Chains A and B, each alone.
Chain A
Amino acid sequence: MRITVNGQETALDGRTVADLLAARLDDPRPHGIAVAVNDEVVPRDDWPRRPLAGGDVVEIVTAVQGG
């Protein structure tokens, strides 16, 4: 199954947002992170049960220094 994460197409191993975070960030529930799937923010509490499907567009963001 192929999805797009932060603008790059990639293979998805798991089934949920939490699986994706665990694979990419080594943490299924990292702090200071927000996730959107197909332009909808997925609240943190929903990460373990929000399924991902082929073609999904996922954004994973955090705070950085900025004016």
Chain B
Amino acid sequence: MSALTIAGRALSSRLFLGTGGLPSLVLLEPVVAAAEPGLVTVSVRRTSSTRDGGLLDVLRRSGVPLLPNTAGCLSPREAVMTAELAREALGTDWVKLEVIGDEASLLPDAIGLVDAADQLVRRGFTVLPYTTDDPVLARRLVDVGCAAVMPLGSPIGSGLGVLNPHAIEAVRAAVDVPVVLDAGVGTASDAALALELGCDAVLAATAVTRADDPVTMAGALRLAVEAGYAARRAGRIPRRTTARASSPMTGRIA
């Protein structure tokens, strides 16, 4: 699979892995090994202990680059502050930007998102915003300097897959930066579909971490992303509403 490059950095895989939701940190190492992700996301939270349970040790050992997020941030101010703290704590200026509109839907706040992205780009961050499947908003995010856009397939944690494939295709067509499908992936076929639609990568968290068998699902998503990317390059046949025989009609017996 040819490499994906974001902001000049070549990534080893088109599958990005979210680490939230694993029932036990013990599973993290085998999950990462099975997924072979190009990036792994982490969140930043208040702490009263230096013991992070070995999270950073495991991730650093895996050699996969970290992508801190601003998950749960409800305002540009909070998101920018969280990104600044992540940069200091983790030594990366990459950030998966989330500015959440409300805690029920977890949908992005489009206006706050562009504002926060603009501020972070000016502060030297490489910004990958979690956004809606809106091609106009995607273009606005690229206009302020985002290095990629991460449209949702369906709500975070829903596992509903890609609810509006046409919108994802429209986002793909609207921007010239990598498109990473983020949120909604429930199983391997959802990830494959995202790549078939033209996405450059997929970020999956819950699909892996809350699967009955996270390690096996991690491997399934790795294969699905490879399959979807290959299918995209191969070029699918046009859809038809009528049958078209693939076997010759001539030369049949009787």
A interface residues, Cβ below 8 angstroms from B:
6-7, 24-27, 30-36, 39, 41, 43-44, 59-67
Contact = CB atoms under 8 A, between A and B. Distances in A.
Contacts of B46: 6-7, 59-61
Interface stretch (B81-89, B161-169, B228-236): B81-89
Contacts of A59: 46, 85
Contact of A63 (B25, B55, B205): B55
B105 interface: no
A39 B85 CA distance: 10
B88 A66 contact: no
User: Interface size class for chain B?
Assistant: 35 or more
B246 to A, nearest CB: 43
A27 B211 CA distance: 38
A59 B86 CA distance: 12
Nearest to A32: B56
In the complex, the 3 A-B pairs of residues with the closest C-beta atoms, listed nearest first:
A66-B43, A67-B18, A67-B205
Contacts, number: 107
14 contacts: A7-B46, A25-B47, A31-B56, A33-B50, A41-B87, A61-B89, A62-B44, A63-B44, A64-B52, A64-B55, A65-B42, A66-B43, A67-B156, A67-B203
Contacts of B47: 6, 25, 33, 60-62, 64
B45 A61 contact: yes
A62 B206 CA distance: 21
Contacts of A6: 46-48
A32 B85 CA distance: 10
Contacts of B205: 66-67
Contact of B52 (A7, A24, A32, A39): A32
Interface of B: 18-22, 25, 28, 41-50, 52, 55-56, 66, 68-69, 71, 81, 84-90, 156, 203, 205-206
A20 B19 CA distance: 30
Contacts of B55: 63-65
A6 B87 CA distance: 18
Given A32-B89, A43-B88, A66 B50 contact: no
B70 to A, nearest CB: 10
Contacts of B68: 63
A66 B85 contact: no
A10 B100 CA distance: 31
Contacts of A44: 88
Contacts of A33: 47, 50, 89
A64 B43 contact: yes
